[in-house]
Protein backbone atom coordinates (compact mmCIF):
# COMPACT_ATOMS: atom_id res chain seq x y z
CA UNK A 1 0.00 0.00 0.00
CA UNK A 2 3.02 2.33 0.37
CA UNK A 3 5.99 2.70 -1.94
CA UNK A 4 8.39 3.62 0.79
CA UNK A 5 7.75 3.55 4.52
CA UNK A 6 10.17 5.52 6.70
CA UNK A 7 10.39 4.57 10.38
CA UNK A 8 11.87 7.27 12.58
CA UNK A 9 13.28 5.46 15.63
CA UNK A 10 13.80 1.74 14.95
CA UNK A 11 13.41 0.27 18.46
CA UNK A 12 10.99 -2.37 19.71
CA UNK A 13 7.89 -0.56 18.42
CA UNK A 14 9.37 0.94 15.25
CA UNK A 15 11.08 -2.34 14.43
CA UNK A 16 7.90 -4.33 15.01
CA UNK A 17 5.96 -1.99 12.72
CA UNK A 18 8.60 -2.54 10.04
CA UNK A 19 8.48 -6.31 10.47
CA UNK A 20 4.66 -6.33 10.48
CA UNK A 21 4.50 -4.13 7.37
CA UNK A 22 7.00 -6.34 5.58
CA UNK A 23 5.32 -9.62 6.48
CA UNK A 24 1.96 -8.28 5.22
CA UNK A 25 3.45 -6.68 2.09
CA UNK A 26 2.34 -3.18 3.09
CA UNK A 27 5.38 -1.31 1.73
CA UNK A 28 7.61 -1.89 -1.31
CA UNK A 29 10.58 -0.67 0.69
CA UNK A 30 11.14 0.17 4.36
CA UNK A 31 13.83 2.55 5.56
CA UNK A 32 14.91 3.75 8.98
CA UNK A 33 16.14 7.07 10.25
CA UNK A 34 18.13 7.71 13.43
CA UNK A 35 20.77 9.99 14.87
CA UNK A 36 24.49 9.29 14.75
CA UNK A 37 24.40 7.64 18.21
CA UNK A 38 21.85 5.13 16.91
CA UNK A 39 24.04 4.02 14.02
CA UNK A 40 24.85 0.66 15.58
CA UNK A 41 21.21 -0.06 16.30
CA UNK A 42 20.24 0.88 12.75
CA UNK A 43 23.03 -1.33 11.43
CA UNK A 44 21.56 -4.21 13.46
CA UNK A 45 18.08 -3.45 12.10
CA UNK A 46 19.42 -3.61 8.56
CA UNK A 47 21.40 -6.79 9.20
CA UNK A 48 18.29 -8.47 10.67
CA UNK A 49 16.30 -7.47 7.59
CA UNK A 50 13.93 -5.30 9.65
CA UNK A 51 14.67 -2.36 7.33
CA UNK A 52 16.16 -2.23 3.83
CA UNK A 53 18.29 0.84 4.41
CA UNK A 54 19.00 3.42 7.04
CA UNK A 55 19.90 7.10 7.05
CA UNK A 56 21.46 9.46 9.55
CA UNK A 57 20.42 12.42 7.36
CA UNK A 58 16.71 13.21 7.13
CA UNK A 59 16.75 14.45 3.50
CA UNK A 60 17.61 11.15 1.76
CA UNK A 61 15.52 9.29 4.37
CA UNK A 62 12.41 11.11 3.15
CA UNK A 63 13.16 10.85 -0.58
CA UNK A 64 10.35 8.98 -2.29
CA UNK A 65 8.75 8.23 1.09
CA UNK A 66 4.94 8.24 1.14
CA UNK A 67 4.49 7.14 4.79
CA UNK A 68 6.41 8.24 7.88
CA UNK A 69 5.92 6.68 11.32
CA UNK A 70 7.50 8.52 14.24
CA UNK A 71 8.36 5.84 16.81
CA UNK A 72 10.55 7.76 19.27
CA UNK A 73 9.89 8.23 23.03
CA UNK A 74 7.10 10.71 23.85
CA UNK A 75 9.66 13.25 25.08
CA UNK A 76 11.47 13.33 21.72
CA UNK A 77 8.46 13.71 19.39
CA UNK A 78 8.63 17.51 19.24
CA UNK A 79 12.23 17.59 18.03
CA UNK A 80 11.37 15.03 15.34
CA UNK A 81 8.47 17.20 14.14
CA UNK A 82 10.89 20.14 13.92
CA UNK A 83 13.27 17.97 11.92
CA UNK A 84 10.51 16.94 9.50
CA UNK A 85 8.94 20.38 9.11
CA UNK A 86 11.16 21.83 6.30
CA UNK A 87 10.49 18.75 4.13
CA UNK A 88 6.80 18.23 4.95
CA UNK A 89 5.05 16.74 1.92
CA UNK A 90 1.38 16.59 0.95
CA UNK A 91 2.13 13.37 -0.94
CA UNK A 92 2.96 11.62 2.32
CA UNK A 93 1.01 10.50 5.42
CA UNK A 94 2.56 10.87 8.85
CA UNK A 95 1.73 9.07 12.07
CA UNK A 96 3.23 8.37 15.48
CA UNK A 97 2.92 5.76 18.25
CA UNK A 98 3.03 7.88 21.44
CA UNK A 99 1.38 6.55 24.62
CA UNK A 100 -0.09 9.99 25.32
CA UNK A 101 -1.83 11.93 22.58
CA UNK A 102 -2.76 15.44 23.77
CA UNK A 103 0.89 16.25 24.30
CA UNK A 104 1.87 14.92 20.84
CA UNK A 105 -0.79 17.19 19.37
CA UNK A 106 0.46 20.11 21.51
CA UNK A 107 4.01 19.42 20.28
CA UNK A 108 2.79 19.50 16.68
CA UNK A 109 0.98 22.78 17.33
CA UNK A 110 4.14 24.32 18.74
CA UNK A 111 6.15 23.25 15.72
CA UNK A 112 3.62 23.78 12.90
CA UNK A 113 1.21 26.35 14.35
CA UNK A 114 -1.67 24.11 13.24
CA UNK A 115 -1.41 20.31 13.23
CA UNK A 116 -0.88 19.28 9.57
CA UNK A 117 -3.95 17.69 7.95
CA UNK A 118 -1.89 14.63 6.97
CA UNK A 119 -0.46 13.96 10.45
CA UNK A 120 -2.58 11.23 12.05
CA UNK A 121 -1.80 10.65 15.76
CA UNK A 122 -2.05 6.98 16.78
CA UNK A 123 -1.21 4.68 19.69
CA UNK A 124 -0.75 0.92 19.42
CA UNK A 125 -1.53 -0.58 22.86
CA UNK A 126 1.17 -3.19 22.82
CA UNK A 127 4.59 -3.65 24.25
CA UNK A 128 6.90 -6.24 25.63
CA UNK A 129 9.23 -6.65 28.57
CA UNK A 130 12.25 -6.32 26.30
CA UNK A 131 13.21 -3.31 24.26
CA UNK A 132 15.38 -2.63 21.22
CA UNK A 133 15.11 -3.73 17.62
CA UNK A 134 16.38 -7.25 18.45
CA UNK A 135 13.10 -7.81 20.32
CA UNK A 136 10.93 -6.58 17.41
CA UNK A 137 8.18 -8.99 16.38
CA UNK A 138 5.96 -8.99 13.27
CA UNK A 139 2.96 -10.02 15.38
CA UNK A 140 3.41 -7.62 18.31
CA UNK A 141 0.24 -5.75 17.26
CA UNK A 142 -1.84 -8.72 16.18
CA UNK A 143 -5.31 -8.56 17.81
CA UNK A 144 -4.07 -5.66 19.96
CA UNK A 145 -5.95 -2.41 20.27
CA UNK A 146 -4.79 0.58 18.28
CA UNK A 147 -6.29 4.00 18.91
CA UNK A 148 -6.27 6.78 16.33
CA UNK A 149 -6.94 10.28 17.66
CA UNK A 150 -7.59 12.52 14.62
CA UNK A 151 -8.32 16.24 14.90
CA UNK A 152 -11.42 17.79 13.37
CA UNK A 153 -9.45 19.03 10.40
CA UNK A 154 -7.47 15.81 9.82
CA UNK A 155 -7.75 14.79 6.16
CA UNK A 156 -10.16 11.82 5.85
CA UNK A 157 -7.92 10.22 3.21
CA UNK A 158 -4.87 10.33 5.51
CA UNK A 159 -6.87 8.99 8.47
CA UNK A 160 -8.19 6.25 6.22
CA UNK A 161 -4.71 5.23 5.06
CA UNK A 162 -3.37 4.95 8.60
CA UNK A 163 -6.47 3.03 9.72
CA UNK A 164 -6.18 0.53 6.85
CA UNK A 165 -2.43 0.16 7.46
CA UNK A 166 -3.02 -0.89 11.08
CA UNK A 167 -6.01 -3.07 10.24
CA UNK A 168 -3.88 -4.96 7.73
CA UNK A 169 -1.25 -5.39 10.44
CA UNK A 170 -3.99 -7.11 12.41
CA UNK A 171 -4.74 -4.48 15.06
CA UNK A 172 -8.20 -3.70 16.39
CA UNK A 173 -8.54 -0.04 15.46
CA UNK A 174 -10.63 2.47 17.43
CA UNK A 175 -11.00 6.16 16.65
CA UNK A 176 -11.56 8.67 19.46
CA UNK A 177 -10.52 12.13 20.63
CA UNK A 178 -7.05 12.63 22.11
CA UNK A 179 -8.67 13.74 25.40
CA UNK A 180 -10.72 10.56 25.65
CA UNK A 181 -7.68 8.46 24.77
CA UNK A 182 -5.63 10.13 27.47
CA UNK A 183 -8.38 9.70 30.08
CA UNK A 184 -8.81 6.00 29.29
CA UNK A 185 -5.09 5.25 29.25
CA UNK A 186 -4.50 7.25 32.43
CA UNK A 187 -6.97 4.92 34.17
CA UNK A 188 -5.96 1.56 32.72
CA UNK A 189 -2.24 2.04 32.22
CA UNK A 190 -0.64 5.19 33.65
CA UNK A 191 -2.29 5.05 37.09
CA UNK A 192 -1.46 1.34 37.59
CA UNK A 193 2.17 2.03 36.66
CA UNK A 194 2.35 5.00 39.01
CA UNK A 195 0.80 2.93 41.78
CA UNK A 196 3.20 0.03 41.27
CA UNK A 197 6.19 2.40 41.33
CA UNK A 198 4.80 4.14 44.44
CA UNK A 199 4.20 0.91 46.35
CA UNK A 200 7.60 -0.58 45.54
CA UNK A 201 9.33 2.71 46.33
CA UNK A 202 7.64 2.75 49.74
CA UNK A 203 8.18 -0.94 50.52
CA UNK A 204 11.72 -0.95 49.16
CA UNK A 205 12.68 1.57 51.83
CA UNK A 206 11.07 -0.63 54.50
CA UNK A 207 12.92 -3.61 53.10
CA UNK A 208 16.19 -1.75 53.64
CA UNK A 209 15.28 -1.27 57.32
CA UNK A 210 14.08 -4.79 58.00
CA UNK A 211 13.82 -7.52 55.42
CA UNK A 212 10.31 -7.82 54.07
CA UNK A 213 10.82 -8.82 50.42
CA UNK A 214 12.20 -12.14 51.65
CA UNK A 215 8.66 -13.11 52.61
CA UNK A 216 6.92 -11.82 49.49
CA UNK A 217 5.53 -14.35 47.06
CA UNK A 218 4.11 -14.80 43.58
CA UNK A 219 1.20 -12.41 44.06
CA UNK A 220 3.62 -9.62 44.88
CA UNK A 221 5.75 -10.48 41.85
CA UNK A 222 2.78 -10.12 39.48
CA UNK A 223 1.41 -7.04 41.19
CA UNK A 224 4.73 -5.23 40.92
CA UNK A 225 5.80 -6.43 37.47
CA UNK A 226 5.10 -3.04 35.89
CA UNK A 227 7.36 -1.36 38.49
CA UNK A 228 10.21 -2.89 36.48
CA UNK A 229 9.26 -0.72 33.49
CA UNK A 230 11.65 1.85 32.04
CA UNK A 231 11.80 4.85 34.44
CA UNK A 232 12.61 7.40 31.70
CA UNK A 233 9.70 6.34 29.52
CA UNK A 234 7.28 6.42 32.45
CA UNK A 235 8.53 9.74 33.77
CA UNK A 236 7.76 11.17 30.31
CA UNK A 237 4.34 9.53 30.06
CA UNK A 238 3.26 10.51 33.58
CA UNK A 239 4.33 14.13 33.27
CA UNK A 240 2.82 14.35 29.76
CA UNK A 241 -0.53 13.09 31.06
CA UNK A 242 -0.52 14.63 34.52
CA UNK A 243 -3.76 16.57 33.90
CA UNK A 244 -5.58 13.23 33.68
CA UNK A 245 -3.49 11.46 36.31
CA UNK A 246 -3.81 13.92 39.19
CA UNK A 247 -7.64 13.71 39.40
CA UNK A 248 -7.38 9.90 39.25
CA UNK A 249 -4.90 9.95 42.14
CA UNK A 250 -7.47 11.97 44.13
CA UNK A 251 -10.17 9.47 43.28
CA UNK A 252 -7.95 6.61 44.36
CA UNK A 253 -7.18 8.28 47.68
CA UNK A 254 -10.93 8.71 48.24
CA UNK A 255 -11.36 4.99 47.50
CA UNK A 256 -8.58 4.12 49.96
CA UNK A 257 -10.23 6.37 52.57
CA UNK A 258 -13.48 4.45 52.04
CA UNK A 259 -11.77 1.11 52.54
CA UNK A 260 -9.88 2.33 55.59
CA UNK A 261 -13.21 3.39 57.11
CA UNK A 262 -14.70 -0.05 56.40
CA UNK A 263 -11.72 -1.66 58.13
CA UNK A 264 -11.94 0.69 61.10
CA UNK A 265 -15.69 0.00 61.38
CA UNK A 266 -15.20 -3.77 61.01
CA UNK A 267 -17.75 -3.52 58.20
CA UNK A 268 -17.16 -6.99 56.77
CA UNK A 269 -20.30 -6.90 54.66
CA UNK A 270 -19.33 -3.81 52.65
CA UNK A 271 -15.70 -4.92 52.45
CA UNK A 272 -16.92 -8.20 50.97
CA UNK A 273 -19.13 -6.29 48.53
CA UNK A 274 -16.21 -4.12 47.41
CA UNK A 275 -13.89 -7.10 46.90
CA UNK A 276 -16.61 -9.07 45.09
CA UNK A 277 -17.42 -6.15 42.83
CA UNK A 278 -13.72 -5.88 41.96
CA UNK A 279 -13.39 -9.60 41.29
CA UNK A 280 -16.39 -9.51 38.95
CA UNK A 281 -15.21 -6.35 37.22
CA UNK A 282 -11.82 -7.96 36.58
CA UNK A 283 -13.59 -10.97 35.09
CA UNK A 284 -15.40 -8.61 32.72
CA UNK A 285 -12.01 -7.20 31.70
CA UNK A 286 -10.54 -10.69 31.18
CA UNK A 287 -13.49 -11.75 29.03
CA UNK A 288 -12.91 -8.72 26.80
CA UNK A 289 -9.16 -9.29 26.62
CA UNK A 290 -9.74 -12.79 25.28
CA UNK A 291 -12.35 -11.82 22.69
CA UNK B 1 7.62 -38.83 62.01
CA UNK B 2 3.94 -38.93 63.04
CA UNK B 3 1.75 -41.96 63.54
CA UNK B 4 -1.42 -40.25 62.54
CA UNK B 5 -1.76 -36.76 61.07
CA UNK B 6 -5.23 -35.20 61.20
CA UNK B 7 -5.96 -32.38 58.75
CA UNK B 8 -8.88 -30.20 59.74
CA UNK B 9 -10.17 -28.66 56.53
CA UNK B 10 -8.98 -30.58 53.46
CA UNK B 11 -8.92 -27.83 50.81
CA UNK B 12 -6.05 -26.62 48.65
CA UNK B 13 -3.72 -25.98 51.59
CA UNK B 14 -4.80 -28.85 53.85
CA UNK B 15 -4.82 -31.24 50.90
CA UNK B 16 -1.37 -30.11 49.78
CA UNK B 17 0.00 -30.65 53.30
CA UNK B 18 -1.45 -34.16 53.25
CA UNK B 19 0.07 -34.89 49.83
CA UNK B 20 3.43 -33.42 50.86
CA UNK B 21 3.48 -35.40 54.13
CA UNK B 22 2.62 -38.59 52.29
CA UNK B 23 5.17 -38.14 49.51
CA UNK B 24 7.90 -37.55 52.13
CA UNK B 25 6.71 -40.35 54.41
CA UNK B 26 6.06 -37.99 57.33
CA UNK B 27 2.98 -39.78 58.71
CA UNK B 28 1.98 -43.44 58.87
CA UNK B 29 -1.63 -42.47 58.28
CA UNK B 30 -3.36 -39.25 57.31
CA UNK B 31 -6.98 -38.52 58.11
CA UNK B 32 -9.25 -35.58 57.41
CA UNK B 33 -12.00 -33.95 59.40
CA UNK B 34 -14.81 -31.75 58.07
CA UNK B 35 -18.40 -30.83 58.68
CA UNK B 36 -21.38 -32.56 57.12
CA UNK B 37 -21.51 -30.02 54.26
CA UNK B 38 -17.94 -30.96 53.36
CA UNK B 39 -18.70 -34.66 53.01
CA UNK B 40 -18.46 -34.63 49.22
CA UNK B 41 -15.12 -32.80 49.30
CA UNK B 42 -13.77 -35.26 51.88
CA UNK B 43 -15.01 -38.15 49.75
CA UNK B 44 -13.06 -36.70 46.82
CA UNK B 45 -9.95 -36.31 49.02
CA UNK B 46 -10.20 -39.97 49.99
CA UNK B 47 -10.84 -41.12 46.42
CA UNK B 48 -7.79 -39.17 45.21
CA UNK B 49 -5.67 -40.77 47.93
CA UNK B 50 -4.94 -37.42 49.56
CA UNK B 51 -6.19 -38.81 52.89
CA UNK B 52 -6.69 -42.39 54.08
CA UNK B 53 -9.94 -41.78 55.90
CA UNK B 54 -12.26 -38.95 56.83
CA UNK B 55 -14.51 -38.19 59.76
CA UNK B 56 -17.47 -35.89 60.30
CA UNK B 57 -17.20 -36.48 64.05
CA UNK B 58 -14.19 -35.01 65.86
CA UNK B 59 -13.81 -37.81 68.48
CA UNK B 60 -12.80 -40.65 66.12
CA UNK B 61 -10.88 -38.15 63.98
CA UNK B 62 -8.56 -37.46 66.91
CA UNK B 63 -8.21 -41.08 68.07
CA UNK B 64 -4.53 -42.01 67.94
CA UNK B 65 -3.66 -38.70 66.31
CA UNK B 66 -0.31 -37.17 67.31
CA UNK B 67 -0.38 -34.18 64.96
CA UNK B 68 -3.28 -31.89 64.07
CA UNK B 69 -3.09 -29.18 61.40
CA UNK B 70 -5.95 -26.70 61.32
CA UNK B 71 -6.29 -25.60 57.69
CA UNK B 72 -9.59 -23.74 57.71
CA UNK B 73 -10.16 -20.08 56.71
CA UNK B 74 -8.89 -17.53 59.26
CA UNK B 75 -12.46 -16.65 60.24
CA UNK B 76 -13.25 -20.26 61.23
CA UNK B 77 -10.17 -20.99 63.36
CA UNK B 78 -11.79 -20.02 66.66
CA UNK B 79 -14.70 -22.44 66.27
CA UNK B 80 -12.23 -25.24 65.43
CA UNK B 81 -10.26 -24.50 68.59
CA UNK B 82 -13.50 -24.72 70.57
CA UNK B 83 -14.25 -28.05 68.89
CA UNK B 84 -10.79 -29.40 69.79
CA UNK B 85 -10.70 -28.09 73.36
CA UNK B 86 -12.50 -30.94 75.18
CA UNK B 87 -10.15 -33.51 73.61
CA UNK B 88 -6.91 -31.53 73.82
CA UNK B 89 -4.01 -33.94 74.28
CA UNK B 90 -0.48 -33.42 75.57
CA UNK B 91 0.62 -36.34 73.39
CA UNK B 92 -0.21 -34.35 70.27
CA UNK B 93 1.19 -31.25 68.53
CA UNK B 94 -1.18 -28.74 66.98
CA UNK B 95 -0.54 -26.17 64.28
CA UNK B 96 -2.43 -24.01 61.82
CA UNK B 97 -1.83 -22.28 58.46
CA UNK B 98 -3.57 -18.90 58.92
CA UNK B 99 -2.38 -15.92 56.87
CA UNK B 100 -2.62 -13.68 59.94
CA UNK B 101 -1.18 -14.79 63.25
CA UNK B 102 -2.05 -12.31 66.03
CA UNK B 103 -5.73 -13.03 65.53
CA UNK B 104 -5.19 -16.80 65.57
CA UNK B 105 -3.39 -16.37 68.89
CA UNK B 106 -6.19 -14.11 70.15
CA UNK B 107 -8.74 -16.74 69.12
CA UNK B 108 -6.79 -19.39 71.05
CA UNK B 109 -6.67 -17.11 74.10
CA UNK B 110 -10.43 -16.63 73.95
CA UNK B 111 -11.02 -20.37 73.78
CA UNK B 112 -8.29 -21.68 76.09
CA UNK B 113 -7.55 -18.70 78.35
CA UNK B 114 -3.85 -19.23 77.67
CA UNK B 115 -2.56 -20.51 74.34
CA UNK B 116 -1.70 -24.21 74.85
CA UNK B 117 2.06 -24.92 74.98
CA UNK B 118 1.71 -27.50 72.22
CA UNK B 119 -0.16 -25.24 69.77
CA UNK B 120 2.41 -23.86 67.31
CA UNK B 121 1.03 -21.12 65.02
CA UNK B 122 2.45 -21.25 61.50
CA UNK B 123 1.89 -19.76 58.04
CA UNK B 124 3.06 -21.31 54.77
CA UNK B 125 3.48 -18.49 52.24
CA UNK B 126 2.15 -20.37 49.26
CA UNK B 127 -1.05 -20.59 47.35
CA UNK B 128 -2.39 -21.09 43.89
CA UNK B 129 -5.03 -19.55 41.68
CA UNK B 130 -7.24 -22.59 42.10
CA UNK B 131 -8.78 -23.82 45.30
CA UNK B 132 -10.20 -27.08 46.61
CA UNK B 133 -8.62 -30.46 47.24
CA UNK B 134 -8.52 -31.30 43.50
CA UNK B 135 -5.89 -28.57 43.12
CA UNK B 136 -3.74 -29.88 46.01
CA UNK B 137 -0.09 -30.45 45.11
CA UNK B 138 2.65 -32.30 47.02
CA UNK B 139 5.18 -29.60 46.04
CA UNK B 140 3.09 -26.52 46.75
CA UNK B 141 5.39 -25.61 49.67
CA UNK B 142 8.70 -26.66 48.13
CA UNK B 143 11.28 -23.85 48.49
CA UNK B 144 8.49 -21.58 49.75
CA UNK B 145 8.76 -19.59 52.95
CA UNK B 146 7.03 -20.86 56.06
CA UNK B 147 6.84 -18.67 59.14
CA UNK B 148 6.37 -20.07 62.64
CA UNK B 149 5.24 -17.58 65.29
CA UNK B 150 5.66 -19.28 68.69
CA UNK B 151 4.76 -17.64 71.99
CA UNK B 152 7.25 -17.28 74.83
CA UNK B 153 5.77 -20.26 76.61
CA UNK B 154 5.45 -22.50 73.54
CA UNK B 155 7.03 -25.88 74.29
CA UNK B 156 10.40 -26.13 72.50
CA UNK B 157 9.73 -29.80 71.64
CA UNK B 158 6.43 -28.93 69.95
CA UNK B 159 8.00 -26.02 68.08
CA UNK B 160 10.81 -28.29 67.00
CA UNK B 161 8.45 -30.96 65.67
CA UNK B 162 6.50 -28.48 63.56
CA UNK B 163 9.70 -26.90 62.28
CA UNK B 164 11.17 -30.27 61.24
CA UNK B 165 7.85 -31.31 59.67
CA UNK B 166 7.89 -28.24 57.40
CA UNK B 167 11.59 -28.50 56.65
CA UNK B 168 11.11 -32.09 55.50
CA UNK B 169 8.28 -30.89 53.30
CA UNK B 170 10.87 -28.63 51.69
CA UNK B 171 9.82 -25.23 53.04
CA UNK B 172 12.24 -22.48 54.08
CA UNK B 173 11.30 -22.03 57.73
CA UNK B 174 11.66 -18.74 59.62
CA UNK B 175 10.72 -18.14 63.24
CA UNK B 176 9.49 -14.71 64.36
CA UNK B 177 6.90 -13.04 66.57
CA UNK B 178 3.29 -12.94 65.46
CA UNK B 179 3.45 -9.12 65.46
CA UNK B 180 6.44 -9.08 63.14
CA UNK B 181 4.82 -11.67 60.88
CA UNK B 182 1.67 -9.61 60.63
CA UNK B 183 3.62 -6.42 59.89
CA UNK B 184 5.66 -8.07 57.14
CA UNK B 185 2.68 -9.79 55.52
CA UNK B 186 0.57 -6.63 55.74
CA UNK B 187 3.22 -4.88 53.63
CA UNK B 188 4.02 -7.56 51.06
CA UNK B 189 0.67 -9.32 50.73
CA UNK B 190 -2.33 -7.73 52.42
CA UNK B 191 -1.72 -4.14 51.27
CA UNK B 192 -1.13 -5.18 47.62
CA UNK B 193 -4.36 -7.21 47.68
CA UNK B 194 -6.29 -4.32 49.20
CA UNK B 195 -4.84 -1.95 46.60
CA UNK B 196 -5.68 -4.24 43.70
CA UNK B 197 -9.25 -4.63 44.95
CA UNK B 198 -9.51 -0.84 45.50
CA UNK B 199 -8.21 0.03 42.03
CA UNK B 200 -10.41 -2.46 40.20
CA UNK B 201 -13.44 -1.44 42.27
CA UNK B 202 -12.85 2.20 41.28
CA UNK B 203 -12.08 1.50 37.61
CA UNK B 204 -14.86 -1.07 37.28
CA UNK B 205 -17.38 1.65 38.06
CA UNK B 206 -15.80 3.92 35.44
CA UNK B 207 -15.90 1.05 32.98
CA UNK B 208 -19.66 0.82 33.50
CA UNK B 209 -20.00 4.52 32.59
CA UNK B 210 -17.72 4.47 29.56
CA UNK B 211 -15.75 1.49 28.35
CA UNK B 212 -12.20 1.61 29.59
CA UNK B 213 -11.30 -2.07 30.17
CA UNK B 214 -11.56 -2.58 26.40
CA UNK B 215 -8.30 -0.66 26.05
CA UNK B 216 -6.44 -2.26 28.96
CA UNK B 217 -3.59 -4.61 28.16
CA UNK B 218 -1.25 -7.19 29.63
CA UNK B 219 0.26 -4.88 32.24
CA UNK B 220 -3.19 -4.26 33.69
CA UNK B 221 -3.95 -7.99 33.68
CA UNK B 222 -0.84 -8.77 35.77
CA UNK B 223 -1.30 -5.78 38.07
CA UNK B 224 -4.85 -6.76 38.90
CA UNK B 225 -4.44 -10.56 39.04
CA UNK B 226 -4.75 -10.58 42.84
CA UNK B 227 -8.06 -8.69 42.60
CA UNK B 228 -9.48 -12.04 41.39
CA UNK B 229 -8.73 -13.58 44.79
CA UNK B 230 -11.47 -14.96 47.01
CA UNK B 231 -13.40 -12.01 48.55
CA UNK B 232 -14.41 -13.92 51.69
CA UNK B 233 -10.87 -14.99 52.47
CA UNK B 234 -9.53 -11.48 51.93
CA UNK B 235 -12.28 -9.81 53.90
CA UNK B 236 -11.27 -12.06 56.82
CA UNK B 237 -7.54 -11.43 56.41
CA UNK B 238 -7.88 -7.66 56.03
CA UNK B 239 -10.16 -7.23 59.01
CA UNK B 240 -8.02 -9.60 61.10
CA UNK B 241 -4.90 -7.56 60.32
CA UNK B 242 -6.41 -4.08 60.20
CA UNK B 243 -4.14 -2.75 62.96
CA UNK B 244 -1.17 -3.27 60.65
CA UNK B 245 -3.00 -2.36 57.46
CA UNK B 246 -4.41 1.02 58.43
CA UNK B 247 -1.02 2.64 59.16
CA UNK B 248 0.29 1.24 55.86
CA UNK B 249 -2.66 2.77 54.03
CA UNK B 250 -1.70 6.13 55.59
CA UNK B 251 1.89 5.68 54.46
CA UNK B 252 0.77 4.84 50.96
CA UNK B 253 -1.42 7.92 50.80
CA UNK B 254 1.57 10.03 51.89
CA UNK B 255 3.60 8.41 49.11
CA UNK B 256 0.85 9.18 46.57
CA UNK B 257 0.75 12.79 47.83
CA UNK B 258 4.51 13.02 47.25
CA UNK B 259 4.17 11.73 43.70
CA UNK B 260 1.24 14.00 42.97
CA UNK B 261 3.35 16.97 44.07
CA UNK B 262 6.21 15.86 41.79
CA UNK B 263 3.76 15.67 38.89
CA UNK B 264 2.24 19.07 39.71
CA UNK B 265 5.76 20.58 39.95
CA UNK B 266 6.90 18.89 36.72
CA UNK B 267 9.78 17.54 38.79
CA UNK B 268 10.99 15.01 36.25
CA UNK B 269 14.28 14.44 38.04
CA UNK B 270 12.76 13.29 41.32
CA UNK B 271 10.04 11.35 39.51
CA UNK B 272 12.77 9.51 37.62
CA UNK B 273 14.63 8.87 40.89
CA UNK B 274 11.49 7.43 42.50
CA UNK B 275 10.75 5.15 39.53
CA UNK B 276 14.40 4.04 39.31
CA UNK B 277 14.55 3.30 43.03
CA UNK B 278 11.40 1.17 42.68
CA UNK B 279 12.74 -0.67 39.64
CA UNK B 280 15.96 -1.51 41.51
CA UNK B 281 14.12 -2.49 44.68
CA UNK B 282 11.94 -4.87 42.68
CA UNK B 283 15.04 -6.41 41.16
CA UNK B 284 16.34 -7.01 44.71
CA UNK B 285 13.07 -8.81 45.48
CA UNK B 286 13.28 -10.91 42.29
CA UNK B 287 16.86 -11.94 43.07
CA UNK B 288 15.72 -13.16 46.51
CA UNK B 289 12.69 -14.96 45.12
CA UNK B 290 14.91 -17.00 42.81
CA UNK B 291 17.48 -17.88 45.46
CB B219 within 8 A of CB A224: no
Subunit contact A238:B192, Cβ cutoff 8 A: no
Give residue-wise pLDDT tens across range A139-182. Answer: 999 999 999 999 999 999 999 999 999 999 999 999 999 999 99
* Nearest chain B Cα distance for residue A166, angstroms: 16
Q: Model confidence at B289, in pLDDT bands (50, 70, 90)?
A: confident
Predicted local distance difference test score (pLDDT) of residue B5:
98
Predicted local distance difference test score (pLDDT) of residue A126:
86
Subunit contact A264:B242, Cβ cutoff 8 A: yes
CB contacts, 8 Å: A286 with chain B: 221
Give residue-wise pLDDT tens across range A56-108. Answer: 999 999 999 999 999 998 889 999 999 999 999 999 999 999 999 999 999 99
Subunit contact B263:A245, Cβ cutoff 8 A: yes
Subunit contact B126:A282, Cβ cutoff 8 A: no
Give residue-wise pLDDT tens across range B49-96. Answer: 999 999 999 999 999 999 999 999 888 999 999 999 999 999 999 999
Superfamily of domain B2-176: NAD(P)-binding Rossmann-like Domain (3.40.50.720)
Give residue-wise pLDDT tens across range B98-133. Answer: 999 999 999 999 999 999 999 999 999 987 667 789
Subunit contact B216:A245, Cβ cutoff 8 A: no
Q: List the domain boundaries for chain A.
A: 2-176, 181-290
Predicted local distance difference test score (pLDDT) of residue B130:
72
Q: Model confidence at A291, in pLDDT bands (50, 70, 90)?
A: low
Q: Which residues touch A19 (CB under 8 Å, ≥6 apart)?
A: A50, A136, A137, A138
Predicted local distance difference test score (pLDDT) of residue B4:
98
Q: What is the ipTM of this complex?
A: 0.90
CB contacts, 8 Å: A188 with chain B: 203, 212-213, 215-217, 220
Q: Model confidence at B236, in pLDDT bands (50, 70, 90)?
A: very high
Predicted local distance difference test score (pLDDT) of residue A89:
97
- In a mutagenesis test of the A interface, which of B192, B229, B267, B288 is the best target, namely the one with the most A β-carbons within 10 Å? B192
Predicted local distance difference test score (pLDDT) of residue B132:
87
What percentage of residues in chain A have a pLDDT greater than 70?
A: 99
Q: Using alpha carbons, select from B121, B131, B120, B126 the residue that is nearest to residue B143.
A: B126
Q: Model confidence at A203, in pLDDT bands (50, 70, 90)?
A: very high
Subunit contact B204:A242, Cβ cutoff 8 A: no
CB contacts, 8 Å: A200 with chain B: 278-279, 281-282
Find the mean pLDDT for residues A244-251: 97
Backbone angles phi, psi at B93, to 5 degrees: -110, 145
Predicted local distance difference test score (pLDDT) of residue A128:
66
Mean pLDDT, rounded, of chain B: 95
Q: Model confidence at B291, in pLDDT bands (50, 70, 90)?
A: low
What percentage of residues in chain B have a pLDDT greater than 90?
A: 92
Of the partner residues A207, A253, A289, the one whose CB lies closest to the CB of residue B281: A207
Find the mean pLDDT for residues A42-48: 97
Subunit contact A201:B278, Cβ cutoff 8 A: yes
Predicted local distance difference test score (pLDDT) of residue A290:
75
A165 vs B219, higher pLDDT: A165
Q: B181-290: same fold as B2-176?
A: no
Predicted local distance difference test score (pLDDT) of residue A123:
97
Q: How many CB pairs under 8 A join A and B?
A: 288
Predicted local distance difference test score (pLDDT) of residue B197:
97
Whether CATH 1.10.1660.10 fits B181-290: no
Nearest CA in chain A to B232: A272
Amino acid sequence: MFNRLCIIGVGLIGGSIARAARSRGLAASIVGYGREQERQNLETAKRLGVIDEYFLDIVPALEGTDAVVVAVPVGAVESVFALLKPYWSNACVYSDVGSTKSNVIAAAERVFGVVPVNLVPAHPIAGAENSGVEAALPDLFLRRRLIITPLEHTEPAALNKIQIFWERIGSLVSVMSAEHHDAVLAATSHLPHLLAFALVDMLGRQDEQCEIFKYAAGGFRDFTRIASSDPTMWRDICTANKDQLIPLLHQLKTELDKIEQLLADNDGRRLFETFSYAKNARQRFLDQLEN
